[in-house]
Structure 1
Amino acid sequence: MRDLVLQCAGVAGIAVALIHGVLGETKVFAKATIQPESLRTLIRLVWQAGTVAWIGGGVLLIAAPSFGSESARHWIVVTIVAVYAFAAAANAWWSRGRGFGWKALGAVVVLAMAGY
């Protein structure tokens, strides 16, 4: 059962990452006026680096049960929980507790810890 919960955390993590990436492109950068253009490009790439990292974390959470190593599972879960928890805390601080992002990120953290 804990394998399934961990894999659900991975799927949720990937979903959150994809939402983050799409909203960044359609809501944030579609309306932002950042000059010079090279700075705008850099900020977009850094934004999407988070998206890619969260997708990678989700993939690792999905794959962790198949590694057959408790040590690998431990370090994958601990690392991904730290990454998502930091993102959840930063999002909660930025949004002053309003919004969906930190709650979705927090749900991934809770699922990953439950599947640990």
Structure 2
Amino acid sequence: MTLAGVVGSAVAVFHGILMQRMMIRPIERALAGTPTSAGIRRLVSPLLHLSTIAWLAGGLALIAVGSGWAPPFRLPVALVVGAFYFHAMVLNCWATRGRHPGWMLMAAALLLILIGA
């Protein structure tokens, strides 16, 4: 489970960096010249980073239960984080038609969760 957490956390951090560079900055530049309210512009980044935050939190939870910090929560953490990672894997594979390494990394983390659970 610890290795699954490391993989998931690393994917989350890398995903956050790429998301900021390749999606959020261009969207913010595009919205700058429109009559969009300031509140909506402030929401773009946090909403797009929601998956990054969930994957990172899940990875840290996997590391915690895999390291023996919270043994009674091993199965619930595996189920919840596994559901997040499964969702990410399926949608990433579908959206990119399998040409993006993210779905493969999430599949590897999911396999490690299954082995560790």
1:106 and 1:40, CA in 2 relative to 1: closer, same or farther beyond 3 A?
farther
Q: Partners of 1:95 and 1:112 in 2: how far apart?
A: 24
- Out of 14, 20, 39, the residue aligned to residue 15 of structure 2 is 20
Instruction: List gaps (5 residues or longer) in structure 1.
Output: 1-5
TM-score with structure 2 setting the length: 0.83
Segments of 4+ moved more than 6 angstroms? none
What's the offset of the Cα at 1:39? 3.4
Equivalent in the alignment of 1:39: 40
What's the offset of the Cα at 1:38? 4.2
Deviation digits for residues 25-53 of structure 1 (CA, Å, limit 9, x no counterpart)? 11122333245264343232112121111
Aligned length: 110
One-letter code of the match for 1:48?
H
- Does 1:60 find its partner at 2:61? yes
Equivalent in the alignment of 2:24: 29
Greater shift, 38-47 or 57-66, is seen at 38-47
Equivalent in the alignment of 2:114: 113
Equivalent in the alignment of 1:49: 50
Q: Partners of 1:16 and 1:30 in 2: how far apart?
A: 20
What's the offset of the Cα at 1:103? 1.0
One-letter code of the match for 2:109?
V
Identity level (%): 31
When Rg is computed on C-alpha atoms for both structures, the one with the higher figure is 2
